[in-house]
Chain A
């Protein structure tokens, strides 16, 4: 079964750090680009960051640039998001999402994890 499982969420104080992980299974992780997407409580979806299959291309939303770092370990079938200098507005459920593997479909997100909650509060 194709699956993504996030972990690492929790309660952190403003200015603190947290590292999220996403474990992939059921597909050849090393051949797919990946993303982080977040959703604040009661709000819509916001794309956070993208990493290509070989880590050669990395992009961030302006709202997290300079504070968050995306990375992956293809040997461990894992995706990461290092979050530093956290703010109240970073409070959200964080999802990892796989980019479709076909040129015809383009860079839509076809597989999503169940999400991990990050709460930034003093």
Chain B
């Protein structure tokens, strides 16, 4: 099974900050990685697919990069609506989610 390790688990930041979240896979997954945003009591929302492709309707301040085993999600300028929990997901072999990163207000 492919394991996915996300870091950090919690991130404190201010509005306007540049934020980076990292995801590492236990073996190469090519570019088959997605990022999701989840707010309390709500379903996850797809932000990025295939490591770096922005889902329709998602603000351009969100970007993804990486391939193989190391990936990053970057929010270029954190907005109030971005305080949430973020999950990465590998879908090279079945589906595995990272543990999540909670982005909270500093």
Instruction: For B46, give its contact among A35, A50, A110 (CB under 8 Å).
Output: A110
For the complex, is A105 an interface residue (Cβ under 8 Å from B)? yes
For the complex, is A112 an interface residue (Cβ under 8 Å from B)? yes
Residues 57-100 of chain B, each 1 if its beta carbon lies under 8 Å from chain A, else 0: 00000000000000000000000000000010101001111111
Determine the interface band of chain B, counting residues with CB < 8 A from chain A. 20 to 34
B94 / chain A contacts, CB cutoff of 8 Å: 47, 50, 59, 61
For the complex, is B24 an interface residue (Cβ under 8 Å from A)? no
Chain B: which residue is nearest A46 at the CB level? B97
Chain B: which residue is nearest A111 at the CB level? B46
B29 vs chain A, min Cβ distance (A):
10
For the complex, is A14 an interface residue (Cβ under 8 Å from B)? no
Pair B95/A107 contact, Cβ less than 8 Å: yes
Name the 10 nearest CB pairs between A and B, nearest first: A112-B43, A47-B95, A108-B34, A108-B49, A45-B97, A107-B91, A105-B49, A44-B100, A110-B46, A44-B99
A interface residues, Cβ below 8 angstroms from B:
35, 37, 44-47, 50, 59, 61, 95, 100, 104-110, 112-115
Extra contacts, 5 of them, besides A108-B89, A112-B45 (Cβ < 8 A), are A45-B87, A47-B94, A106-B49, A109-B34, A112-B44
